[in-house]
Amino acid sequence: MEFAGKVVITTGTTGIGKACALEFARNGASVAALGIDEEANAALRDLAATEGLRLNVIRTDVSKPGEVEAAVSEVVASFGGVDIVVNSAAIHPYGDATNTDFDVFMRCMAVNVGSIHLTAQYAVPEMRKRHGGAIVNISSVQGSACQKNVSAYVASKGAIHALTRAMALDFAADNIRVVSISPGSVRTPILELAARTFEGDDADVEAIFRRFGEAHPLGRIGEPEEVAALAAFLASSRAGFITGSDHRIDGGLLAGIGVR
């Protein structure tokens, strides 16, 4: 039970966010999962109850300062503090700079990047009281290399890399480490949205996932639990000298130069 006695906040209650909440809770942490999707929140809450996990789910729009502040206050009241934050909440609009509505662009930045700022704003003071901690930000390989027609999403993921570096420097003296993770294609609702966006609502999603997997040298897409395992390692004392860095988990996707 590596995280016994630790208090963890995760954002996003589907895909990688859900997997991270379960990974930490199953390893002894007290976890608060913040998410806006009520159906996903309920499913995670039920699963946690079935397994007897110390995992609270708090309905939160993580782009809203008041809601994040209230959620962090609830976590501190329930669990006594904050040690670790894993920021996974994200949305993925499609479009280029000419056809993406500005409100959509700003909503993407607010959720994907602004939420990281907000969880730090309210959680870091609590982490300081406990003399340190770790923040893990889920970015994407698309923060380093990108596809066409995803300008808002790509901008947000590149910003996460930069914000991670800034936070790592700003909070190093507090013994708070900050890192990011950049997954390749992972079995998540966002990837399913991509499949249906490309092929239509009646698409054979698993067949498309297999095709997506062929772009990765390891020949498959990743699983949320694999990303969660990396997040747990990076947040643990075993990674105590790691901060300010990005960690790809992409099946070799960005290792090559146009060859498979």
Task: Enumerate the active-site residues.
Answer: 153
Rounded CA separation 49/205 (Å): 30
Who's near 258: CB < 8 A, 6+ residues apart? none
Q: What share of the chain is helix, strand, coil (3-state, %, to 5)?
A: 50, 15, 35
CA distances to 169, 213, 234, 252 from 86, in Å = 18, 26, 10, 24
Cα 250 → chain centroid? 15
Q: Which of 212, 170, 163 is nearest to 187 (CA)?
A: 212
